[in-house]
């Protein structure tokens, strides 16, 4: 109903103006309704009850073939020109339109059900001072809603208050970005004071002014005005629809954006009707065929006029003409009669068969047990049935990283402590070591695995360096612990990296138990120790390190630091040079394994120096101007002369088979682009782990300029290195395409490159590169590289990159992702693939195909896609061949029947040719044929490269098919004509009557096209055999039945060929004519194919020869990836954004909760985080408050 209202609103000219700023007031529906904001109902379906019929028919009649059949049906209603019954065309057209409509309706009903399920979810809404349960669809902008633990966020909300200390809320964003680690949101202190009292919340009338609806998931700008005071709002105070509340008993939020205005729905993109390249080609071919048909009919009509003028008068004695019909009018009527008669060049059964074949190939994907993921009970799913053959023509793949290539799970694999390497998986004999038994540690995480027992022994022996190493990991972090039951610890980390490191310390005996703003409690080898936390020197992207200053119970002050190797090394004491060399060797080894590394160091501090430093830190922290620069100088001052402890190696676990899949796709000449929101170091590291970036590449270009001119210069510089002879301006070929050649296309040609290169670009540079005057520079340089990685990319930028390649490369694209931030990219590409399973389902709901693991992509493309494309191309070639041959025989016969539009065949044969006699064999070939099996397809991925080049079916192959049909039709018509001309039976009777000739020609035609089918079939099954021989048997059975005396006696006018089959097919010369016709049609084809096979064999020919001469290749054994030699260090393992340093040292943070009740929320600006103050614990703040400089 909402869509209908908006439709009629647009119709009446009440189009909604573009929103420039959103303004709303809490608990004031009357005020907010005046702005006509969208409600919270969503609609992802394409149709409703009123629009289904017109929109669906409009979409179906966009196919020129359907318009052509409608036109033919109209002609057949005119008895003066129709030689075929009109109801046959009407019935077939109705069946075609109905089947497609039912399929579209079924898909849309499923969307309606999904929408209804979401819209009817319930949430608590504050209405008239009371919390009431309301459906999501009834929630309005400005409403205050209550969310509870594990509940989906209803709309985009401004967080008002929470049950948690400091008004924190933990949310899981898997539906948005595929990341399963929890994010932390915090309400403003002024709204946090509202607490959970409904009467207080109902009296809240704060006014929000913010940005209009947009698709930027990582940004929000706005202000909140309360009691005359204005407060700034950012993304950390907003809960987005699609998130899930975790570990939070309850929270309240103010609806800012609802329904289609939410960022989740804004990222959904516009639903488009996707058509394959073959569909577009078919439209052009149908138009060309229709023009050719009109030309043939015009020639035959002129022939009829000439014949009627010269010879027609001699026949009027036997066939008197209709009164008032002269030669010109007769020719005009003959023209339309031939239009009807020759329409079999494009029969409706072609499009029915195409849909059946696509449906069958979609079932193969759904039923493929090798694409089933048992861990999550998730099969592969073809969510559309119209794009299968396009899977065999992919040239560019655009992939997300987190949750698509990786599992977003970090594991502690190795470490280097005091120059000794721990964590090798294999022993000296090459056997896998047993897992370490952590049963001695009651608090160990049972999911943690390690394979080097010597590290445990070293710690138990009391090794000072090893214990200091894990003590640092247990203290230097911003992880937040949660202990639901005694001994059952859960760590909430901002990034999986930190969680993995703290878990490793936990298992090796240094268990982080709890924290307050002033202390950290650790259980070290069974002993409880509480450290005073004096300061947290937090991580950010510039520092690339984090430090904490703690005091032991004995009073010793220590600074613990961890960070990127290059950053820590330059801050080490000179005495560490020897240890630094040994650790560097281990870091290189870890980098070779694709692991993410951190270097650990510490420093003992003097009490007086720390007091003086803290005093200066406090002064800098309250400075307004240059505050960040002053703090950075203080951090640099104290983080010097560190003593090296060692290094950690964390694995960002890839999904199984990702490197092998990417390698296979590269061999298939498919280019891979990774578009990720992660930072550059992380993306590069994953690139090396996936073998997308390799040491043997000639160069890896990094584009990171912050100006348009700088980006242009870096792109051109990279291009000059790859191809010094490349022209300054790109070579662009302008052409026309599409129906009636109305669509203008610009194709940018690739420059020749020797060797392999890669391009890495950050989001800021990409924003400049996607501008109109730089987009071709980006495209040229990127397409010269084997691998492209774009970092910090927004969802909109992902879609624009895909659109850029689609626009200028005229290549088929595929986008694969798992989160809502990938939806725009998935919808923009020709093929969209969603990763389903543990992560969010937004990408799956918008995709064309889905499965649980990235590795299944190679089977989807190299097996199902290639087979589907090959089958569809062979089907179209054969279908056009058999129908053009069938039709051209009518043309040759016209010269012998006075151009009278008489059919050369029995009328029943004309009706059944495409429906009964030839349909099943070609459908059987198109469902079961395969050039090589799936294992050989994986063994030779180069077989796939023919698809993107459109080798198997294009305009040239269509012309060859027409020429072949023309030759076959000449043989099929003139060999029987010559054989029966002036021929008599064995008993001396004449056999050259029309009915006998028609039977002979149609029998020759049917056997010839079936013989051609046999020559085209690579893979024979029992079903193929049954369809082919069964169709011939059906032909002879129906022919003898319809030519029998009994049928003639019952329906004399319907079955006039009485006794023809019985009297003709018992003559030896008839069978000899059939054999000669088949021989003359088949021999040239076999001779031509033999010559091509000998002189210019294709890759398929070579592989098929290999299949016949060699044994079937065995499946490749699962083996660990070979260690690469690296000249670069692996990306450091750290948070993706600034850490929780301010948060964990805030006053009143992590207050101890009672089991049944909680203390009231804080009622004043007591949090340095809320006041945006730097980190300093309360102890030192009080100590130096009275001693200003």
Annotated catalytic residues are 400
> What angle in degrees, to the nearest 10, is found between the helix axes of 277-310 and 64-76?
30
* Pair 187, 167: CB distance under 8 Å: yes
Distance CA 877, CA 952 (A): 9
Following CA atoms 132, 134, 139, 140 in sequence, which dihedral angle do they give, to the nearest 10 degrees?
A: -40
Inter-helix orientation angle 866-894/348-367, to 10° = 170
Tokens of 216: 């930027």
Structure tokens at 869: 């494309």
Contacts 24+ apart (CB under 8 A), 82-87: 82/337, 82/340, 83/337, 83/340, 83/341, 83/901, 83/902, 83/903, 84/340, 84/341, 84/907, 84/910, 84/911
C-alpha pair distances (Å), 931 with each of 417, 509, 926, 937, 1016: 56, 59, 12, 9, 10
**Could you tell me if 137 and 39 are in contact, meaning their C-beta atoms sit under 8 angstroms apart?**
yes
Whether the Cβ atoms of residue 839 and residue 180 lie closer than 8 Å to each other: yes
Cross-strand pairs, 804: none
Instruction: Find out whether 399 and 674 touch, Cβ atoms under 8 Å.
Output: yes
Read off the DSSP letter of residue 940. Answer: -
Closest CA to 96 of 1092, 1128, 915, 1018: 915
What is the greatest pairwise CA distance in the chain?
A: 134
Quote the CA–CA distance of 175 and 1083 in Å, as a whole number: 61
Q: With beta carbons less than 8 A apart as the criterion, state whether 547 and 568 touch.
A: no
Nearest to 191 by CA among 20, 27, 22: 27
* Cα distances (Å, whole numbers) of residue 71 to 64, 89, 175, 891, 1139: 11, 10, 49, 21, 68
Alpha-carbon distances of 1051 from 83, 365, 1035, 1044, rounded to whole Å? 19, 48, 20, 11
**What is the spatial distance between Cα 537 and Cα 642, in angstroms, rounded to a whole number?**
15
Cα–Cα distance, 450 to 457 (Å, whole number): 13
Phi-psi label, residue 151: left if phi above 0, alpha if psi -120 to 50, beta otherwise: beta
Instruction: Give me the sheet containing 699-703, strands edge to edge.
Output: 381-382, 849-851, 831-835, 812-817, 394-399, 671-675, 787-790, 757-761, 699-703
Which residue matches tokens 């993304």?
235
> And the tokens for 830?
């020709």
511 to 247, 514, 522, 550: CA distances (angstroms): 21, 9, 5, 16
Three-state secondary structure readout of 693-751: CCCCCCEEEEECCCCHHHHHHHHHHHHHHHCCCCCCCCCEEEEEECHHHCEEEEEECCC
């Amino acid at each position: 109903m909402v869509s209908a209202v908006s439709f009629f609103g647009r119709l009446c000219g009440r189009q909604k103006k573009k929103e420039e700023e959103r303004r709303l007031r809490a608990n004031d529906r009357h005020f907010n309704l005046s702005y006509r904001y969208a409600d919270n109902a969503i609609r992802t379906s394409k149709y409703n009850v009123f629009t289904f019929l017109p929109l669906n028919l409009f979409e179906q009649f966009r196919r020129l073939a359907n318009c052509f059949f409608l036109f033919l049906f109209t002609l057949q209603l005119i008895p003066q020109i129709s030689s075929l019954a009109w109801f046959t065309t009407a019935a077939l057209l109705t069946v075609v339109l109905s089947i497609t409509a039912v399929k579209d309706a079924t898909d849309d009903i499923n969307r309606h059900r999904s929408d209804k399920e979401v819209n009817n979810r319930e949430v608590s809404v504050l209405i008239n001072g009371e919390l009431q349960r309301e459906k999501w669809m009834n929630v309005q902008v400005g409403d205050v809603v209550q969310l509870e633990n594990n509940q989906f966020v209803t709309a985009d909300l401004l967080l008002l208050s929470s049950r948690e200390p400091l008004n924190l809320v933990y949310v899981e964003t898997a539906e948005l970005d595929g990341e399963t680690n929890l994010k932390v949101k915090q309400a403003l202190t002024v709204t946090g004071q509202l607490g959970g009292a409904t009467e207080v919340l109902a009296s809240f009338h704060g006014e929000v002014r913010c940005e209009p609806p947009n698709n930027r998931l990582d940004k929000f700008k706005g202000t909140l005005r309360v009691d005359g005071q204005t407060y700034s709002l950012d993304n950390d105070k907003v809960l987005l629809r699609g998130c899930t509340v975790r570990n939070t008993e309850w929270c309240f939020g103010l609806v800012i954006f609802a329904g289609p205005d939410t960022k989740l729905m804004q990222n959904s993109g516009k639903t488009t009707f996707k058509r394959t390249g073959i569909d577009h080609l078919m439209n052009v071919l149908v138009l060309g065929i229709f023009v050719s048909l009109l030309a043939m009919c015009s020639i035959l009509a002129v022939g009829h006029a000439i014949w009627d003028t010269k010879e027609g008068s001699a026949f009027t004695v036997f066939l008197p003409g209709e009164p008032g019909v002269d030669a010109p009018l007769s020719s005009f009527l003959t023209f339309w009669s031939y239009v009807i008669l020759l329409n079999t060049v494009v029969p409706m059964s072609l499009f029915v068969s195409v849909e059946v074949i696509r449906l069958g190939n979609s079932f193969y994907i759904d039923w493929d047990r090798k694409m089933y993921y048992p861990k999550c009970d998730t099969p592969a799913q073809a969510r559309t049935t119209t794009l299968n053959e396009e899977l065999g023509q992919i040239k560019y793949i655009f992939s997300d990283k987190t949750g698509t290539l990786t599992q977003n799970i970090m594991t502690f694999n190795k470490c280097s402590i005091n120059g000794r390497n721990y964590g090798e998986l294999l022993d000296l004999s090459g056997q896998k070591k047993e897992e370490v038994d952590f049963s001695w540690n009651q608090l160990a995480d049972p999911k943690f695995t390690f394979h080097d027992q010597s590290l445990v022994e070293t710690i138990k022996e009391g090794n000072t360096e090893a214990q200091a190493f894990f003590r640092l990991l247990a203290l230097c972090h911003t992880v937040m612990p949660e202990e639901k039951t005694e001994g059952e610890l859960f760590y909430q980390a901002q990034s999986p990296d930190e969680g993995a490191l703290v878990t490793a310390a936990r298992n090796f005996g240094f268990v982080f138990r709890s924290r307050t703003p002033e202390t950290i409690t650790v259980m070290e080898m069974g002993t409880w120790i509480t450290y005073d936390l004096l300061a947290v020197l937090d991580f950010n992207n510039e520092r690339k390190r984090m430090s904490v200053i703690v005091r032991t119970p004995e009073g010793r002050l220590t600074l613990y630091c961890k960070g990127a190797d290059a950053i820590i090394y330059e801050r080490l004491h000179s005495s560490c040079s020897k240890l630094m060399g040994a650790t560097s060797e281990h870091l290189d080894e870890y980098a070779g394994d694709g692991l993410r590394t951190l270097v650990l160091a510490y420093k003992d501090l003097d009490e007086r120096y720390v007091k003086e430093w803290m005093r200066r830190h406090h002064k800098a922290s309250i400075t307004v101007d240059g505050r960040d620069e002053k703090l950075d100088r203080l951090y640099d001052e104290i983080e010097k002369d560190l003593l090296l402890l060692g290094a950690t190696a964390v694995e960002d676990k890839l999904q199984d088979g990702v490197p092998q899949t990417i390698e296979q796709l590269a061999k298939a000449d498919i280019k891979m682009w990774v578009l990720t929101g992660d930072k550059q170091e992380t993306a590069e590291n994953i690139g090396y782990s996936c073998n997308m970036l390799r040491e043997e590449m000639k160069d890896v270009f990094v584009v990171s300029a912050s100006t348009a001119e700088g980006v242009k210069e870096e792109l051109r510089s990279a291009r000059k290195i790859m191809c010094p002879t490349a022209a300054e301006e790109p070579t662009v070929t302008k052409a026309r395409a599409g129906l009636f050649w109305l669509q203008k296309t610009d194709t940018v040609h690739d420059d020749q490159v020797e060797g392999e290169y890669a391009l890495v670009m950050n989001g800021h540079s990409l924003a400049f590169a996607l501008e109109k005057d730089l987009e071709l520079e980006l495209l040229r340089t990127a397409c010269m590289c084997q691998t492209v990685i774009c970092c910090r990319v927004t969802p909109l930028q992902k879609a624009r990159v895909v659109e850029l390649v689609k626009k200028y490369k005229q290549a088929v694209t595929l986008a694969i992702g798992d989160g809502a931030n990938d939806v725009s990219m998935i919808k923009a590409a020709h093929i969209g693939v969603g990763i389903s399973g543990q992560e969010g389902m937004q990408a799956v709901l918008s995709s064309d195909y889905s499965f649980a693991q990235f590795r299944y992509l190679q089977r989807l493309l190299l097996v199902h896609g290639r087979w589907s494309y090959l089958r569809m191309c062979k089907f179209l070639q054969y279908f056009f061949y058999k129908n053009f041959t069938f039709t051209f025989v009518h043309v040759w016969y016209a010269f012998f029947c006075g151009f009278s539009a008489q059919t050369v065949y029995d009328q029943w044969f004309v009706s059944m040719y495409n429906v009964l006699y030839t349909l099943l064999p070609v459908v059987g070939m198109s469902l079961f044929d395969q050039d090589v099996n799936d294992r050989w397809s994986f063994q030779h991925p180069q077989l796939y490269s023919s698809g993107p080049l459109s080798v198997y079916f294009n305009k040239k192959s269509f012309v060859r098919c027409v020429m072949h049909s023309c030759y076959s039709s000449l043989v099929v018509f003139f060999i029987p004509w010559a054989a029966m001309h002036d021929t008599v039976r064995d008993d001396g009777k004449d056999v050259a009557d029309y009915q006998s000739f028609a039977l002979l020609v149609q029998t020759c035609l049917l056997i010839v096209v079936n013989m051609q089918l046999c020559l085209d079939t690579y893979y024979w099954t029992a079903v193929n055999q049954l369809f082919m021989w069964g169709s011939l048997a059906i032909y002879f059975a129906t022919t003898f039945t319809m030519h029998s005396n009994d049928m003639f006696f019952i329906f004399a006018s319907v079955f006039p060929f009485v006794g023809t089959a019985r009297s003709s097919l018992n003559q030896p010369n008839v069978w000899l004519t059939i054999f000669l016709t088949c021989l003359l049609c088949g021999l040239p084809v076999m001779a031509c194919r033999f010559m091509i096979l000998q002189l210019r064999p294709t890759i398929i020919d070579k592989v098929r020869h290999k299949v016949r001469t060699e044994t079937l290749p065995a499946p490749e054994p699962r083996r660990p990836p070979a260690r690469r030699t690296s000249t670069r260090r692996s990306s450091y393992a750290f948070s993706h954004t600034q850490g929780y340093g301010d948060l964990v040292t805030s006053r009143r943070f992590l207050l101890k909760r009672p089991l049944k009740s909680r203390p009231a929320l804080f009622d004043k600006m007591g949090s340095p985080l809320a006041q945006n103050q730097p980190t300093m614990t309360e102890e030192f703040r009080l100590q130096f408050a009275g001693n200003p400089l």
